[in-house]
Amino acid sequence: MRIVLLGILLAIPAFGQDSPSKVSGQVLTPAATADTDSRQAPLVLTLQDALARAKANDPQFRAALTELGLAHQDVVQSRAGLLPNVSYNMQFIYTQGNGSAPPTVRYAANNGVHEYIAQGNVHQALSPGMLADYRKVEAAEALARAKSEIATRGLVVTVVQAYYGYVVAQRKYATAQKAASEADRFLGISQKLQNGGEVARSDVIKAQIQNQQQQRVLQDALLAMNKNRLDLAVLLFPNFEENFSVVDDLRLPDPLPSFVEAQAAATKNNPELRVALASLRQTDQEVKVAWTAMLPSVGLDYFYGIDANQFAVRDRNGFRNLGYAATATLQLPIWNWGSGYSKVKQADLRRQQAHVELSFAQRRLLADLRSFYDETETSRAQLESLSQTAELASDSLRLTTLRYQAGEASVLEVVDAQNTLTLARNAYDDGQVRFQVALANLKTLTGNF
């Protein structure tokens, strides 16, 4: 009887004999319970596809780009303020006359009873603070650009976590399916051995308990997989599309660059430092703007056109109405009850705070770089060990089941081997996600390498 069952067991592939690395590269599809249109093939997404879609639909990332666009337009407007502007004015002014001929004005506020103005105006304002204000908005644009880079790298971390979270959720669901199938198979084996009088009833009861437990684990795995798919759909699609699949490209990663190389990249490409430096430059210019507001300013205007009692190129006597005028205005601040100096003090306080934030950003960069690099290096080093553990657990289950068939192992050993294999496979999959997220976090400091 045992020889026959042993032959059947060897003919059936043992649970978990596939190496975890063999799963890599497969296209993972949504669960069969998902309500999708069977007539339309699901959209297959890679990680790069997911990143592109998230950039188009994530509101926080789009808000950062909007702030960058607004800052750029502030630069355009400030630069335009440094240059002369041209305008054209048309105006008719009526003043009450005194009834004489020719009529003269009774209320001497204008140049005649009828005054027509149609002229172009070239205006130029000159003040020491204009250039400082332009440099301030340039620094603000650099600040917004650095913040948009932070938003970009932060979005990468979010997408990586959601994308590979879904990949691993599907892997765990597949593992739970295999575990449930193995529990069913082992229950059948124990029942046959009981019928042959070779094992006790307690072995069948233990197999039944294990089978029921694996069914509950399978249900939880399905629930977790569907939840991860929905989270990813919210992140990627503007119309909440669920008919999609993702590519499982998890594999043993390439070696990391040395810490010295990562540190050099972080020093050069870190957006947090750029934010702190741009904030410091902006506050420096705010101090200059505040000081220059207490200095003299000049306004220049040139007018050409008609400013006459008749709306005509020539008047009744044949003289030309077209002409020009120019004005120059010097404005010298004298007394403003200390508000100008108060603005200088405000700007200087912001500059001092920016110095403190820059120093902190430099220290935080060094600490985060070491922490993220160590996390990435450790998680990568553990991947190979986790893979080997899963393979060993698969082989252990196969051998333990054979020993149970031969009467050399207890039912508890088989159940323990089943649970160990499930835990080993899930640990390997979790290790893959841990590495990918750790690598994405490291790249928020260094950029791609």
Domain positions in the chain: 2-83+127-295+333-446
Q: Considering only CA atoms, which of 5, 410, 415 is closest in space to residue 200?
A: 410
The helix (run of H) or strand (run of E) holding residue 277 is helix 271-292
Q: What is the pLDDT of residue 1?
A: 37
Average pLDDT, consecutive stretches of 10 residues, N- to C-terminus, the chain (449 residues): 36 40 46 49 92 93 94 93 89 78 69 83 88 92 94 95 95 95 91 86 90 94 95 92 90 87 90 93 93 90 88 84 90 89 94 95 94 95 92 94 88 92 95 94 89
Q: What is the pLDDT of residue 39?
A: 59
Beta-sheet pairing, 43-45 with 244-247: parallel
Distance separating alpha carbons of residues 183 and 215, to the nearest angstrom: 9
Question: What is the model's pTM?
Answer: 0.78
**Amino acid, res. 107:** Y
Tokens of 339: 């508000």
Distance separating alpha carbons of residues 321 and 281, to the nearest angstrom: 52
Q: What is the pLDDT of residue 22?
A: 42
Class of domain 2-83+127-295+333-446: mainly alpha
Instruction: Determine whether 418 is exposed, middle or buried from the number of CB atoms within 10 Å of its CB (0-12, 13-18, 19+).
Output: buried
- Residues near 203 by beta carbon (within 8 Å), at least 6 away in sequence: 190, 193, 194, 411
* Cβ–Cβ < 8 Å for 407, 391: no
Q: What is the pLDDT of residue 317?
A: 81
Beta-sheet pairing, 114-126 with 244-247: unpaired
Tokens of 81: 């303020």
Long-range CB contacts for residues 183-187, cutoff 8 Å, separation at least 24: 183/207, 183/210, 183/211, 183/213, 183/214, 183/215, 183/418, 184/211, 185/12, 185/15, 186/210, 186/211, 186/401, 186/414, 186/418, 187/211
